[in-house]
Amino acid sequence: MFNKWFKPTIPILRINSGIDHNSTKLVEESLKPLTRMKALAVVVNSTGGLLVQGELMKKKIELFAKTHKIPLYTFAEDSALSAGYYLLSIGNKIFVDEASLVGSIGVLYLNLSLEKLTRKLGFEPRKFSSNKKLFLNITGLNDKRDEDMEGIIKDQFGIMRQQFFDHCDKYRPQLQKQDADVKDLIYNANIFTGTEAVKYGLADEIGNFEEVLNRLHPDCQLRDITRIPLAQYYIMKQQSQ
């Protein structure tokens, strides 16, 4: 009974949402050291989000592993796409399920034209910006296509796209050894199954976190350290009553 309290531990950190400010804060709050840690496991289930928050989250996770001198394993469950893959790729070893959706290395920008809708509903938007053209194009308050502004926006997102590419080259250097056709597939925001991800070098092996960690560290107990958002906690509490 008491043996489990003295066994080495592997903290499990789950990322089960979009990559944004809230999920970054939860990661920071979750990363609390346990006694006798042998490794850190990050389980990713995310379709993506904000690249800036992905970078902040990455630094917090890496600092934790480096400070405690433990290896970092990452695992994809249902999906690790875009900023989700950005995080998955930082593992010293990356594991995926055969049916996981992995990749989408690139940047997506969605802009909805709202000018006709706001006019139809009788709304009059108040516009305040030192760059009127940029404001209208980003907020969707302009139905007219402005190729000059589209070019500016594409340039800005091109910088983010290059950051993503550089990140993948750093953490997955084997991607650069692929044929040109394969690299074009990988770096063009395509989505792959887990099996394909291993084939193309986006991941190392097939396996879920319980199976893999029990095989690599049979003497350790797995401890989920993920903080639950307060709203979700109250919902779960009500459902259990």
Average pLDDT over the chain reads 83
Given this model, what pLDDT does residue 221 score? 94
Q: To 5 degrees, how large is the angle CA 118–CA 121–CA 127?
A: 30
Percent over 90 (pLDDT), the chain: 59
And the tokens for 30?
Answer: 């979750």
Q: What's the rounded Cα separation, in Å, for the pair 68 and 135? A: 46
Given this model, what pLDDT does residue 126 score? 57
Q: What's the rounded Cα separation, in Å, for the pair 36 and 217? A: 13
Given this model, what pLDDT does residue 160 score? 74
- For the stretch 126-153, pLDDT in tens is 555 445 555 455 554 455 555 665 665 5
